[in-house]
Amino acid sequence: MFEILKKSLATGIVTTDYPQGAAEVSDAARGEPDISKATLTDARLGAAACPTSAIAFEPGDRAATLSLDRCAFCGLCAEAALSIRMTNRWQLAALRKEDLKRTVRWGASVADTAGYSTDPKTGVEQIGGHLRSEINRLFGRSLHIREVDAGSCNGCEIEIGGLNSPIYDIERFGIHFAASPRHADMLLVTGPVSRNMELALRKTYDAMPGPKLVVAVGACGCSGGIFGKNYASLGGVDSVLPVDVYIPGCPPNPYALLHGILLAIRT
């Protein structure tokens, strides 16, 4: 016991001060691919290499759109195309799927980009300081999350598990994971919704008291990801339930999850 206490005191505080402070994400971490500087030829090569069809060309072939809700951050487009590069941008959660689109148009000489931003204005940092009171205002008490794996590979679950670690410590905001949907305010859903899980997901949602929030996690939760819609999968969570926030990534790191959850509370 004394040894544990001694070790704890020697280790000190390891919890991040995000969102008031900066998130410590490795430069090598995978975030959104950047096609904003890509040449038309390179963008075509990247689109051809993409396993999730996340880069799509418009009719006429002079504009391409990257859909982050489909992107698995696999980096194959960057390997195939010299001017596409992977970034470590992870602060990508959005209230609408349209906000997860990045468009590049090629004119006579320069590329015109839309939707690219390294500084998303979501206001999450501003509420970080008084998050407990914000949660109290909305729910009259702490916020409880029920997580449902609707068919994921468990990559997202590993990152969600990190939220309860001493590093991210989501409970410092008064946010807890609940064992029952009857005690939950927020439904966190991972995976493409497999047809076997559709009923369970609907019943979980119906069992939650209002007001309730739904957060789709990861490329699979946002759009069905690499699985899309098929005989076993219904696609993204919004094919079954109304979604309040989409958190892209494959999987999103705990900072990205925290950012998306705080964004949902902000709505």
Task: Give residues 190-249 in contact with ligand SF4 (rule: CB under 6 A).
Answer: none
- Selected binder of ligand SF4 within 38, 45, 50, 104 (CB under 6 A): 50
Task: Give residues 5-34 in contact with ligand SF4 (rule: CB under 6 A).
Answer: 33
Only one of the segments 20-28, 66-74, 87-95, 136-144 lies at the binding site for ligand SF4 (rule: CB under 6 A); that segment is 66-74
- Residue tagged 């038309």 (tokens): 40
Is the distance from CB of 72 to CB of 226 less than 8 angstroms?
yes
Could you tell me the smallest distance in angstroms from the CB atom of residue 263 to ligand SF4? Answer: 22
- Selected binder of ligand SF4 within 25, 29, 56, 76 (CB under 6 A): 76
Q: What are the two backbone dihedrals, phi and then psi, of residue 148, each rounded to the nearest 5 degrees?
A: -125, 125
Only one of the segments 7-15, 65-73, 141-149, 177-185 lies at the binding site for ligand SF4 (rule: CB under 6 A); that segment is 65-73
Only one of the segments 10-18, 48-56, 180-188, 195-203 lies at the binding site for ligand SF4 (rule: CB under 6 A); that segment is 48-56
Q: Which two tokens stand for residue 20?
A: 């008031």
- Does residue 71 belong to the site contacting ligand SF4 (CB under 6 A)? yes
Host H or E run for residue 204: helix 198-207
CA–CA distance from 29 to each of 6, 24, 86, 90, 160 (Å)?
A: 33, 11, 9, 9, 17
- Does residue 90 belong to the site contacting ligand SF4 (CB under 6 A)? no
- Does residue 52 belong to the site contacting ligand SF4 (CB under 6 A)? yes
Only one of the segments 72-80, 97-105, 178-186, 234-242 lies at the binding site for ligand SF4 (rule: CB under 6 A); that segment is 72-80
Q: What are the two backbone dihedrals, phi and then psi, of residue 246, each rounded to the nearest 5 degrees?
A: -110, 130
- Does residue 54 belong to the site contacting ligand SF4 (CB under 6 A)? yes
Q: Which is nearer to ligand SF4, 80 or 207 (CB)?
A: 80
C-beta neighbour count of 195 within 10 angstroms: 13
**Residue 231: alpha-carbon gap to chain centroid:** 25
- Residue tagged 């005690």 (tokens): 183
Could you tell me the smallest distance in angstroms from the CB atom of residue 67 to ligand SF4? Answer: 8
d(CA 243, CA 240): 9
C-beta neighbour count of 140 within 10 angstroms: 7
Q: Which residues bind ligand SF4 (CB under 6 A)?
A: 33, 49-50, 52, 54-55, 66, 71-77
